[in-house]
């Protein structure tokens, strides 16, 4: 992601108004998945990528049934799971989040529904918001065969329903592992609420979650 910069408040306000309006106007409320992973009493893990991990993590921390969220890297080797290496776009890694959740309170399908509605624009290839490169791709890393089945079915469902005005380019990739990011990237949004990058790019996503998914919202 673009590193934090300092912007005068007057300029920041103008940028926020334009960026938020543009971002929110592009959001949709995706339909519920017709196929979902059956609920069990066991915790599950979802791993996905949708641009800068700060905002993705920030959204899912407000979802009921989510037990823990962490930022990190997935898609490449353990030896290159570092911020500077991943930022080169040559490691195979995407900035990702690992979501531990209670499937009796929120299903994997619902996690995907939130993802496609307010987290990422699935029609953008190798970029989200102001960030570009393969490390910012829209990708799902199912951790079980059941999750992979649901992910494929849901993308097909959204495509058939023409929920988006461009083809979905979100990839479904083999889960090779998740490697936690450096400490400074964990819970970044909550710790830096006034960071211009967060205010402009990520806060509107959290507000969209609260507005579009009140039953899933946790303040």
Q: Which residues contact 79 (CB under 8 A, 6 or more apart)?
A: none
* Residue with tokens 């987290």, as numbered in its chain: 119
- Are 103 and 39 within 8 A, CB to CB? yes
Q: Residue 61 to residues 66, 71, 84, 118, 218: CA-CA distances in angstroms?
A: 7, 11, 25, 14, 8
Question: Which residues carry out catalysis?
Answer: 52
Q: Residue 135 to residues 5, 52, 83, 132, 208: CA-CA distances in angstroms?
A: 21, 9, 10, 8, 24
- Rounded to 10 deg, the angle between the 203-212 and 53-60 helix axes is 30
- HSE, side-chain direction, 13 A CA sphere, residue 198: 17
How far is 35 from 214, CA to CA, in rounded Å? 22
């Amino acid at each position: 992601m673009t590193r934090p910069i300092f912007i005068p408040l007057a300029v920041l306000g103008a940028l926020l108004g334009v960026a938020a309006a543009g971002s929110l106007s592009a959001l949709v409320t995706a339909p519920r998945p017709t196929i979902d992973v059956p609920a069990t009493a066991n915790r599950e893990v979802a791993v996905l990528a949708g641009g800068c991990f700060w905002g993705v993590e920030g959204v899912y921390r407000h979802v009921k049934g989510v037990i823990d969220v962490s930022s990190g890297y997935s898609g490449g080797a353990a030896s290159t799971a570092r911020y500077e290496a991943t930022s080169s776009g040559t490691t195979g890694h995407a900035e990702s989040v690992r979501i531990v959740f209670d499937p009796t309170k929120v299903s994997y399908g619902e996690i995907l529904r939130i993802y496609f509605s307010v987290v990422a624009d699935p029609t953008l290839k190798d970029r989200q918001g102001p960030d570009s490169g393969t490390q910012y791709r829209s990708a799902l890393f199912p951790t079980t065969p059941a999750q992979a089945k649901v992910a494929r079915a849901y993308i097909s469902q959204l495509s058939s329903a023409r929920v988006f005005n461009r083809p979905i380019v979100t990839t479904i990739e083999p889960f090779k592992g998740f490697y936690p990011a450096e400490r400074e990237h964990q819970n970044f949004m909550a710790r830096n609420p006034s960071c211009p990058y967060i205010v402009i790019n990520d806060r509107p996503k959290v507000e969209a979650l609260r507005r579009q998914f009140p039953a899933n919202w946790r303040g």
